[in-house]
Amino acid sequence: MREQAVEDLGWEKRDPARYNIDGIVRDAWINGNGSDEAWKAAVEKHYRRFMVGDWVRITVEVEDGFTEHHYGVIENFRKPDGNFYKRNAAKPYAVFVHPEHTRSHVVPLAELVEEINDFETITEWSAVHEGGPEHNYGVYSCLGGHGPYPPPATVMVVHKVSGQKKRFCDACNTPDYRSQLAHEALWYQRSSKTTILELRANPELITGPTGDALPYYTKTDADAYREFAETFPWLVPAPAAELYAKWKKEQQNAANAA
């Protein structure tokens, strides 16, 4: 019966390693009536969302009310008290993760996010290579681990939070390279903390006066905040972002009326 369950999962394009096969057999065929409904319920019940070796994202709270997203591999499962399980646990409580840019953490499964869920993957050739470099026949090259002659990119990966993008070939579209893209957004956040805190404390700073256009342009502090908002929109505190959007609309209306 186990072999039949594994075969059926394969027909459904599921990875048998991510399922408790004995549990499926018991609930679908031994205790269940063998119907499609019993099978579907058993498969859903005994799916292992996380396994050792999976890449996940954890959220870490740091000083000044900031939160950071970090990525790493599940190294083992832990009990609620942080200790190891002595045997395989059907429903483990937490995982141990040691991300690259923060200390190790024991995180409950309920707080984990699959790494892939933080990214959008675009595979349509015309979209991947839109605006490609003329010197390379309009084709972007893979930005993964290649030498001086990288192959053409086949996917464009977009970090959903920041909108940061990178293009890879299929072989380089891996959790490691995708997490490096997310880490770029993390570095921008860490290096911009002063600006973020200033806008958090006083959102009106972003709607201050502009510099004189003539005879010489002088950039004001408000101009600098607005440039920051244009470059890193995902880092602008919500109240300041709302004021900036309103300010831009007012400026556009004034220009149209002139």
pLDDT at 215: 55
Count of Cβ atoms closer than 10 Å to residue 215 Cβ? 5
Question: Where is the domain boundary, 184, 208, 223?
Answer: 184
> In this structure, are 198 and 237 located in the same domain?
yes
> In this structure, are 134 and 175 located in the same domain?
yes
Q: SS3 for 130-196, per residue?
A: CCCCHHHCCCCECCCCCCCCCCECCEEEEECCCCCEEEECHHHCCHHHHHHHHHHHHHHHHHCHHHH
> In this structure, are 180 and 235 located in the same domain?
no
> In this structure, are 109 and 61 located in the same domain?
yes
> In this structure, are 203 and 237 located in the same domain?
yes
At residue 139 the predicted structure's pLDDT band, cuts being 50, 70 and 90, is very high
Does a structural domain hold residue 125?
yes
pLDDT at 229: 97
Does a structural domain hold residue 127?
yes
Does a structural domain hold residue 238?
yes
Q: Cβ(130)–Cβ(165) under 8 Å?
A: no
- The whole domain housing 169 covers 118-184
User: Mean per-residue pLDDT for 223-248?
Assistant: 96
Collapsing DSSP states into helix, strand and coil, what is residue 57?
Answer: strand
> In this structure, are 172 and 216 located in the same domain?
no
Does a structural domain hold residue 33?
yes
pLDDT at 210: 86
Does a structural domain hold residue 24?
yes
At residue 218 the predicted structure's pLDDT band, cuts being 50, 70 and 90, is confident
pLDDT exceeds 90 at position 256: no
User: Mean per-residue pLDDT for 138-161?
Assistant: 95
pTM value? 0.85
Tens digits of residue pLDDT in 191-217: 999 999 999 999 999 999 888 655 566
> In this structure, are 135 and 96 located in the same domain?
no
Number of domains in the chain: 4
- CA–CA distance, 247 with 253 (Å, rounded to integer): 10
pLDDT exceeds 80 at position 102: yes
Closest to 80 measured CA to CA, from 52, 58, 108, 60 = 108
pLDDT at 254: 85
> In this structure, are 157 and 135 located in the same domain?
yes
Question: Where is the domain boundary, 134, 159, 184?
Answer: 184
**Tokens encoding 202:** 């006083």
Over the chain, what is the mean pLDDT? Answer: 93
pLDDT exceeds 90 at position 255: no
Q: Cβ(25)–Cβ(1) under 8 Å?
A: yes
Question: Where is the domain boundary, 155, 184, 213?
Answer: 184
Does a structural domain hold residue 50?
no
Tens digits of residue pLDDT in 157-203: 999 999 999 999 999 999 999 999 999 999 999 999 999 999 999 99
Does a structural domain hold residue 131?
yes
